[in-house]
Amino acid sequence: MKKFVRTYLPFMANEFKRQLAYKGAFYLFIFISLFGSFISYYLWMAIYGSSKSGVIGGLNQQEMVVYIFMVYVTTSVVMVSVSNWVSDDVVKGTVAMNLIKPIDYRISLISMAMGRAVYQFLAPSIFIWIGVEVYKAVALGQPMVSVTTVIIYLCSCMMSFFIYTLFDFCFGMIAFFTTYIFGLRMAKEALLSFLTGQLIPISLFPAAVQRVFEYLPFSSMVYTPVMIYLEKYTGQELAFVLLRQAVWVVILYALGSLIWHKVTRRLVVLGG
């Protein structure tokens, strides 16, 4: 275990340092992301203002505000793409070098994603999270989230991170067949923003659609940890969604191993 940590910790640390070196681009990304969150905020406030019911999809107006900004916090930490790194390695031919190194290529990518996730949590997600709790306490007069809920939420986020990165690794394997996957990545991100509950809470979908989503990994990426934070899951239902996340981690890891074995057998690198 000590050797494992010593091998892959530098990947995480180097990505964290790389993010510090490109602050301008990162803060532009923050501005754009927050801008989208505030658009969602004003849109949903308008919907609630014109609705005869104070509860939509099982969420009241105050819960929806928390949902919108906790989706931002969760997404920035959980959804760190590794498929673009895979694509770059394939295009440049550097993937061949990774094959001869005494490392696991997939774990090195996940370690890099962890480095970026830590950076994005420290700047600015943790401040947005604090702002959400201040809003609850000052504007709504509600108690702050319990320590137990925070611990469960963070555990769920950790599994969500692995679900997304393992899924994105499998998606990145398409680069071995098409080389350039920029367009597919844009389509994937647009589709996931819908399937993961970023744009619309999954509880707003018809019951039949929600049941279908229960058997897919996408709701476990963002929607599940945010609903845990809102304490919408309790008892057996909470245990079930956490178990479902753990199962998807295992399934996607096994699927990634199978795909990786297949693509490396057909890999041909010219130059490099």
Dihedral angle sign, alpha carbons of residues 244, 250, 254, 256: positive
Q: Where are the domains of the chain?
A: 2-265
Closest CA to 68 of 241, 226, 233, 238: 226
- Say whether pTM exceeds 0.75: yes
Of 193, 189, 247, the C-alpha closest to 215 is 247
pLDDT at 37 over 50: yes
- Please determine, for residue 58, whether its predicted confidence score (pLDDT) is greater than 90: no
CA pair distance 169, 163, nearest whole angstrom: 10
DSSP code, position 196:
T
Of 9-13, 157-161, 242-246, 264-268, the range with the lowest mean pLDDT is 264-268
pLDDT per residue over 89-132, tens digit each? 888 878 777 777 788 899 999 999 999 999 888 877 888 899 88
Lowest-pLDDT choice from 27-41, 42-56, 104-118, 191-205: 27-41
**Which band of pLDDT confidence, cut at 50, 70 and 90, is reported for residue 268?**
low
Greater confidence (53 vs 118) lies with 118
pLDDT tier at 73, thresholds 50, 70, 90: very high
